[in-house]
Amino acid sequence: MPGFGATVSSMEHDNIAAPKSRTWFSRAKIALPAVAFACSGLLASGRPVPGSERAPQVALKSGGVQFRMELNGGQYSFAASGHTLVAADGAAGVYLAGSPVSFRRSGSCAGAVCHLAGVSAAGGHLQLTVTLSPHQAELMATPQHAGDELRFVTAGAAPGFGLADHAVLLRYSTLPQKQYNTDISGFADDQFLSGQGLARLVSNFVIYPRRQFAEVLVDPWMKIIHSSAAQIVQGVAQAHGPVKLYYFFGNPHQIYARYLAVRNASGYRVFRPKYQAFGVGWEAFGALGWNTNQKTVEESVDRYIAMGYPLRWIVIGSGFWPAEPEMNETTSFGMWNREKYPDPGAMIRHFQSEDLAVMLGLRITFIATGPFAAEGVAKGYFLKKDGRPQVFHGSWPKLPYYLLDAHNPAALDWYMKLVKRWQAFGIDGWKEDFYGYGGYGLRDDKVDPVNDRLMEEKQLVIERNGYLSSNGDLHRINDFNYDQDQDRGPVNALALAYSGFPLVYPDIVGGTFGENRFASQRTRKMQIYMMRNAQWAALHSSMGMGEPPWTFSAETAKVMLQAAQFHQQIAPYIYSNALRFAGDGYPWTMTPLPIAFPDDPHVYGRENATVRGYEWMIGDALLATPLYGNDYATATSRDVYLPRGEWMDFDTGRLYRGGQTLYNFALPPGKTPLFVGGSGITLEDRKGQLLVCVYPVTAQGEADLSLPEGGAMVHIEVHGLPVGTPWSGISVRDSAGRSVAAQQSNHAFVFAPHAGQRYTVQALSRR
């Protein structure tokens, strides 16, 4: 097959003209837009019209989007307003079992739907249905024979972003520069599946913001994914039934809204997260390694709280199970190591009295000689091979194990009844962490049904495995340690955000010292690492503490505490944007700049290990600019790019005009790496008081904010505020026109919000 496997440098660009404006889709908001079908040079039978000079083709149009396919060869493309969005491949558009497919009409091509029959050059058959709407196209192919390989192919586009965990694999596998980069140009994988390296959160959604399109083939089994400036391929290694490929068109807001709808409709659900997960957490494995017991856990957590850490949740991820080898797993349901945890109920009540949610580790693995394995085998609740329960061997658990068949409703019900044995002790949630299954070819959504049920029951969930679903309160990147390439962390986190997993938890601050994977002596480099890692983590949806800060220098401990307290300060604003994400699919909590500002050429080519421009928007008002990457120990400044608008340094209050790069901008440890811009309206926890904060960065602005408890909305409008001039006072009025008390604090005017109110903010006078 010509063209497959082609790779190009991420510096290459496509040469197809992109639309000049992001607003060309605005007319598509008209209800029920007309859809047209054209068939040039083609009889109803699919044979060319005698004398026709054009090859037979079909065309659909909906809301300004045009689909066109050349039937002889199946090359297809999409365009809008005279501009090509997705160009056709030069050889073929669909391959079945490695052979190019040509098409003819097999039914109506009326309205928004066209039915086509395909025959490959090798004689294989498939049916193809094309459904077009203003911001979306669905190509559904049904091969005649199950198990056939199927590929959809178009010309390429670059840069492209997405692929979740897989995005950090390609730098060390396919490209000569071997450098971490969020731009996935050059990625090529014909065995795209979870379990490849650290790839456990899986999404084959790829967005091309410059070209205003994205695509995803929805299938939980092994996929074929290529993306370069020359060619884009999405397919399946073996068709298990109808194969659905989706294209989304428009600006990023429109694209992510359609992606959300497809995820939910396909059964890969996006749930509303819970506020408590967005606070600062503590993980036993990070703080204590394997030395976890009731005494050490209580002492460590209580010392953190006494030092001023605003902890909201804790995880005991391992070591709580009975001592017998066959019990060394999180599926010891309700059975504790009573020597280490003599009174777990009292321990849990103690933490809950401190307003902490208590989570345990949870997996779907059952040690074959463990206490519940025989029942699972007898009732057919485990995955089978050749009609018998399959025995797995992996890095954890150490002993052979069975694996829950989570897609069996009876098995899932049984599993959830076992989970209640932990809940009976008062457990609030779970750190889901199945790993070590590479080589078995398991479907990507092996854990999704479990996480769905846990979220339905309002349990806290830290999600680590899944396909397309956001069925956890947080999306965790793989273990991230001191001895690793530190550019992986920010690239991994941003790749999750691009892919529809923006509720990023960047793993335990400092990593897992207790595993003894690296020397833990307190060198100056390690001290800097702990400060930088904490400040970077604080800008995500959640951060978790581990290695005790009191074992480091006073300077390091101070910066770590400041980072945790700062995260708690902005947690209400992050959570408000998490609820926005659940409602419209847009990655509000962590919006990479190419998504937030797709028309700005300066935001591209920065999220890599050369530039280390790891920046993102939080909502529409905060710009995160952490100094992070493998140069963390020596770098003291970054070239910070400010998009259009006015931007205020969060610490100093100094204003900067956007559309410029602040070269060598000083970011020493301890400085908050954050700017305020956009609407300038945030929701913050300042010393335990929930406040709306209005920063003087725009004369006119508005925001809808969700309050943390219950998600009730407040609306804020700003009118006529002077930009760049300190305010001597403002007037704040609620929905009824009543005056609301406000004061100036830390470069902003602040006031306490009440659910359901609409607030108007205006300046009184200038100094």
Q: Mean pLDDT score of the chain, rounded to an integer?
A: 91
Model pLDDT for residues 200-225, shown as the tens digit of each residue = 999 999 999 999 999 999 999 999 99
Taking 90 as the threshold, does the pLDDT of residue 459 lie above it? yes
Identify the pLDDT of residue 311: 98
CA end-to-end span of the chain: 71
The answer to which of 39-53, 250-264, 273-287 has the lowest mean pLDDT is 39-53
Q: Where are the beta strands (DSSP E) in 21-64?
A: 35-40, 57-62
- Give the Cα separation of 383 and 356 in Å (integer): 36
DSSP 729: E
Taking 70 as the threshold, does the pLDDT of residue 533 lie above it? yes
Identify the pLDDT of residue 41: 37
Average pLDDT over residues 495-509: 98
Amino acid in position 80: A
Average pLDDT over residues 119-133: 97
Taking 50 as the threshold, does the pLDDT of residue 668 lie above it? yes
191: tokens are 């065995």
687: tokens are 């010393």
Average pLDDT over residues 583-596: 98
The pLDDT-based confidence of 82 (bands split at 50, 70, 90) is: confident
Average pLDDT over residues 650-669: 97
Identify the pLDDT of residue 48: 39
The pLDDT-based confidence of 169 (bands split at 50, 70, 90) is: confident
User: Do 469 and 263 meet the contact criterion of CB atoms below 8 Å apart?
Assistant: yes
Amino acid in position 122: A
16: tokens are 């197809």
Model pLDDT for residues 705-742, shown as the tens digit of each residue = 999 988 899 999 999 887 866 666 789 999 999 999 99
Average pLDDT over residues 14-23: 33
The pLDDT-based confidence of 196 (bands split at 50, 70, 90) is: confident
Share above pLDDT 90 across residues of the chain, in percent, rounded to a whole number: 85
Instruction: Look at 174 and 75; give whichever has higher pLDDT.
Output: 75
Identify the pLDDT of residue 171: 58
Q: Is 334 exposed, middle or buried (0-12, 13-18, 19+ CB in 10 A)?
A: middle
Average pLDDT over residues 28-51: 35
Taking 80 as the threshold, does the pLDDT of residue 76 lie above it? yes
Instruction: Look at 2 and 701; give whichever has higher pLDDT.
Output: 701
Model pLDDT for residues 368-401, shown as the tens digit of each residue = 999 999 999 999 999 999 999 999 999 999 999 9
Distances (CA, A) of 118 to 76, 101, 217, 244: 14, 6, 19, 16
How many CA atoms, within 13 angstroms, populate the side-chain half-sphere of residue 685?
Answer: 22
- Give the Cα separation of 520 and 512 in Å (integer): 10
- Give the Cα separation of 357 and 428 in Å (integer): 6
Residue carrying the six token digits 């040509």: 102
What residue ranges define each of the domains in the chain, with the CATH number in brackets? 26-265 (2.70.98), 281-365+429-584 (3.20.20.80), 605-676 (2.60.40.1180), 685-766 (no CATH)
Distances (CA, A) of 405 to 27, 69, 332, 360, 566: 47, 41, 18, 21, 42
The answer to which of 128-142, 167-181, 486-500 has the lowest mean pLDDT is 167-181
Model pLDDT for residues 536-584, shown as the tens digit of each residue = 999 999 999 999 999 999 999 999 999 999 999 999 999 999 999 999 9
Instruction: Look at 105 and 6; give whichever has higher pLDDT.
Output: 105
> Helix 252-265 to helix 554-584 angle, to the nearest 10 degrees?
70
Identify the pLDDT of residue 36: 38
Q: Which of 79-83, 263-267, 432-436, 509-513 has the highest mean pLDDT?
A: 263-267
pTM of the model: 0.93
Average pLDDT over residues 490-515: 96
The pLDDT-based confidence of 25 (bands split at 50, 70, 90) is: very low
- Give the Cα separation of 635 and 628 in Å (integer): 9
Identify the pLDDT of residue 175: 55
User: Checking DSSP bridges between strand 616-618 and strand 591-592, what pairing results, if any?
Assistant: antiparallel
Identify the pLDDT of residue 724: 67
Taking 60 as the threshold, does the pLDDT of residue 45 lie above it? no
Taking 50 as the threshold, does the pLDDT of residue 670 lie above it? yes
